[in-house]
């Protein structure tokens, strides 16, 4: 069971890493266990998801309906 125990610092690193790569099964399970027991890390997870959504919208944003000069 110790292999699934993660600190908040380790979980925050996993949450950031999840943006760039697929997590292993052990990492995913450890993340779920920690998020179920911690009150702070789910807030950080929502912040990361909010930033990802905002960046996606920003990339697709255009001031004008037609980007041609």
Helix %, strand %, coil % of the chain (to 5): 65, 0, 35
Please state the domain extents for the chain.
Answer: 2-58
Q: How far from 46 is each of 3, 11, 37, 62, CA to CA, in Å?
A: 25, 13, 16, 26
Q: What is the pLDDT of residues 28-37, one digit of tens each?
A: 999 999 999 9
Angle at 52 between CA 50 and CA 54, to 5 degrees: 70
pLDDT value of residue 2: 72
Q: What is the pLDDT of residues 21-67, one digit of tens each?
A: 999 999 999 999 999 999 999 999 999 999 999 988 888 876 666 55
Whole-prediction pTM value?
0.75
Enter the tokens of residue 47: 């912040």
């Amino acid at each position: 069971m110790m292999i699934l125990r993660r600190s908040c610092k380790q979980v925050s690193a996993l949450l950031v890493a999840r943006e760039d790569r697929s997590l292993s099964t052990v990492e995913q399970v450890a993340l779920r266990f920690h998020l179920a027991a911690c009150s702070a890390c789910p807030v950080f997870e929502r912040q990361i998801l909010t930033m990802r959504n905002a960046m996606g919208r920003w990339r697709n944003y255009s001031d004008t309906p037609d980007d041609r000069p």
